[in-house]
Amino acid sequence: MSSRSSFARGLALVATSSLVAAGPCDLYATGGTPCIAAHSTTRALYSSYTGPLYQVKRGSDNTTTNIAPLSAGGVAEAAAQDSFCASTTCLITIIYDQSGHGNHLTQASAGAFSGPESNGADNLASATGAPVTLNGQKAYGVFIPPGAGYSNNAASGTATGDAAEGMYSVLDGTHYNAECCFDYGNAEVSSHDTGNGHMEAIYFGTNTIWGTGSGSGPWIMADLENGLFSGASTGNNPDDASISSRFVTAAVKGGPNKWAIRGANAVSGALSTYYNGTRPNASGYNPMSKEGAIILGIGGDNSPNAQGTFYEGVMTTGYPSDATENSVQANIVAAKYAVTSLTSGPALTVGSSISLRATTAGYTTRYLAHTGSTVNTQVVSSSSTTALKQQASWTVRTGLGNSACFSFESKDTAGSYIRHSAFQLLLNANDGTKAFYEDATFCPQTGLNGQGNSIRSWNYPTRYFRHFNNVAFVASNGGVDAFDATASFNDDVSWVLSTGFA
Ligand SMILES: *[C@@H]1O[C@H](CO)[C@@H](O)[C@H](O)[C@H]1NC(C)=O
Ligand SMILES: *[C@@H]1O[C@H](CO)[C@@H](O)[C@H](O)[C@H]1NC(C)=O
Ligand SMILES: *[C@@H]1O[C@H](CO)[C@@H](O)[C@H](O)[C@H]1NC(C)=O
């Protein structure tokens, strides 16, 4: 081996490691289009960033803590969250802006539409609904169910009017719905629809009211207000591909009479361009009237019915070049997003029959059972009737909505599963819909009171199986309903699993 070739290899190594070391926002800065908002609960988006990534609040005492990267430019210290949130529930209260502009995201308040909170605000996301690894290190994303959302209506440095901006976000390509609107980006400062062109945000999902792409979705589109655009106008753009990867990079950029949608698998490959052209010619979109607020998980008018998962995203000033976006995609691929376990605590075996015993003092002879379609708790013992034993026995199935979790089929009513509806647990026949699958999927965790398992809803991860007045719900700790009461929450949501009575 000549010294010349080993010198060349050394240079290549330096070039590679400095590319990996530069964060997405370093790359946008190098490209002349710096980040003016940089949000991520999973990692620092600048190579030198060591500040807080996000804040969590725990249910046991309402105190908060900040989660920072393990090292400059590194992955979030998930262990600090796990320790702070042990034996209680945790919500994400703030997603900090790493750009220095103070554009933090907090609980979205009521706009034209109200959220589920008593004051009309949206819910906060669970801190534990979206565990992943980056380069093998655990981190948590932001799992947004319908009703949750974040915003900043007083952002600074964001694009206004027809000014140019770019955005990308890394999302879960398997978590979406057809409702309006799982967005990340620029929106109205009033949380009301103030007209065409008053927002410009990344949308992800299967909404078909305005634009569509090829296949059945989900698609990356742009929410430009009063329209989700897959291309030049509302309607179908066959170039806007359906997404099937678990992790998705979604990018939208817009400037005077031009805009583009680009996307990719976030763990491999390069960005594809799904649209690259002029503004819609319907009135109001050229020029644009962007207002510069920032939203996550909701529409510009606080439409809160969509769902999705956000891992990281930024907004820039200026129209990023295709080359800059390509280098950001390479950086995201190098971060190596991967799935990790969604469950903890005593393991469940698919195909086995189980019974779930309550652990709240005074209720420990009661088991999760059903009377018709109502899921409740009943006193069951070895001397109970066969009918009651069957009502209190459940066959563990692979999760209908996510194979990393579980579904519970009735022992006496084959084809019927425990699902939640309006946050009550029901026994319903599997109707084969995506909504049923998701409402019937649960991810057991180590019991919050230290006993057995707490059975968390996959699609509403702040919610767990809870008995309340001997009826079963999916309850959130301190939520708006009576069955969400904080008193005895940990006990009411902890169940000891044993071999089924039947
Ligand atoms: C936390 O705050 C909520 C809302 O203010 C309140 O209802 C709840 O009782 C508090 N919990 C504790 C443990 O202080
Ligand atoms: C987008 O369109 C512009 C203007 O026509 C062109 O310069 C650019 O190369 C296009 N980008 C892609 C990725 O197609
Ligand atoms: C508006 O744009 C659409 C899609 O590009 C095009 O089909 C239509 O002809 C345009 N209308 C006018 C009036 O320019």
Q: Separation of 485 CA from ligand 1 center, angstroms?
A: 10
The answer to whether residue 346 is domain-embedded is: no
Query: How far apart are alpha carbons 106 and 125 in whole angstroms?
Result: 11
DSSP 383-431: TS-HHHHHHT-EEEEE-SS-TTSEEEEESSSTTEEEEEETTEEEEEE--
Active-site annotation holds for 312? no
The answer to whether residue 344 is domain-embedded is: no
Distances (CA, A) of 326 to 244, 250, 251, 419: 20, 12, 11, 42
Q: Separation of 237 CA from ligand 3 center, angstroms?
A: 13
CATH number at residue 428: 2.80.10.50
Task: Report which protein residue has its CA nearest ligand 3's atom 8.
Answer: 281
Task: Report which protein residue has its CA nearest ligand 1's atom 2.
Answer: 62
Q: Are residues 372 and 278 in the same domain?
A: no
Q: Are residues 324 and 377 in the same domain?
A: no
Which residue range forms the structural domain that includes residue 183?
24-339
| C-beta 276 within 6 A of ligand 2 | yes
Decide which of 317, 339, 361 is a domain's last residue.
Answer: 339
Q: Which atom of ligand 1 is nearest to the CA of 61?
A: 13
pLDDT tens track, the chain, 502 positions: 333 444 344 344 444 444 447 999 999 999 999 999 999 999 999 999 999 999 999 999 999 999 999 999 999 999 999 999 999 999 999 999 999 999 999 999 999 999 999 999 999 999 999 999 999 999 999 999 999 999 999 999 999 999 999 999 999 999 999 999 999 999 999 999 999 999 999 999 999 999 999 999 999 999 999 999 999 999 999 999 999 999 999 999 999 999 999 999 999 999 999 999 999 999 999 999 999 999 999 999 999 999 999 999 999 999 999 999 999 999 999 999 999 999 999 999 999 999 999 999 999 999 999 999 999 999 999 999 999 999 999 999 999 999 999 999 999 999 999 999 999 999 999 999 999 999 999 999 999 999 999 999 999 999 999 999 999 999 999 999 999 999 999 999 999 999 999 9
Q: Are residues 205 and 84 in the same domain?
A: yes
Decide which of 339, 361, 378 is a domain's last residue.
Answer: 339
Q: Separation of 430 CA from ligand 1 center, angstroms?
A: 37
At 289 the pLDDT is 98
Q: Are residues 383 and 300 in the same domain?
A: no
The answer to whether residue 12 is domain-embedded is: no
Over residues 282-311, the pLDDT tens digits come to 999 999 999 999 999 999 999 999 999 999
Q: Are residues 280 and 395 in the same domain?
A: no
pTM: 0.95
Q: Are residues 150 and 129 in the same domain?
A: yes
* Domains held by the chain: number: 2
At 14 the pLDDT is 42
CATH number at residue 304: 2.60.120.200
Decide which of 339, 361, 386 is a domain's last residue.
Answer: 339
Q: Are residues 393 and 486 in the same domain?
A: yes
Q: Which residue has the tokens 């990996």?
A: 20
The answer to whether residue 18 is domain-embedded is: no
At 440 the pLDDT is 99
The answer to whether residue 392 is domain-embedded is: yes
Q: Are residues 304 and 395 in the same domain?
A: no
Q: Are residues 287 and 262 in the same domain?
A: yes
Over residues 371-419, the pLDDT tens digits come to 999 999 999 999 999 999 999 999 999 999 999 999 999 999 999 999 9
The answer to whether residue 347 is domain-embedded is: no
Active-site annotation holds for 225? yes
Count the helix, strand and coil residues of the chain and give each as a percent rounded to the nearest 5. Answer: 15, 35, 50
The answer to whether residue 372 is domain-embedded is: yes
Distances (CA, A) of 328 to 44, 86, 313: 14, 35, 11
Q: Which of 62, 107, 119, 462 to mutate to test the pocket of ligand 1 (most atoms within 8 A of CB)?
A: 62
Q: Are residues 330 and 356 in the same domain?
A: no
Binding pocket residue ranges, ligand 1, CB within 6 Å: 61-62, 478, 486
Which ligand approaches the C-alpha of residue 234 most closely?
3
Residue 455 · residue 355 · CB < 8 Å: no
Identify the bridge partners of residue 123 per DSSP, sorted by sequence position. Answer: 148
Q: Separation of 58 CA from ligand 1 center, angstroms?
A: 10
The answer to whether residue 242 is domain-embedded is: yes
Q: Which atom of ligand 1 is nearest to the CA of 60?
A: 13
**Active-site position among 97, 200, 291, 301:** 301
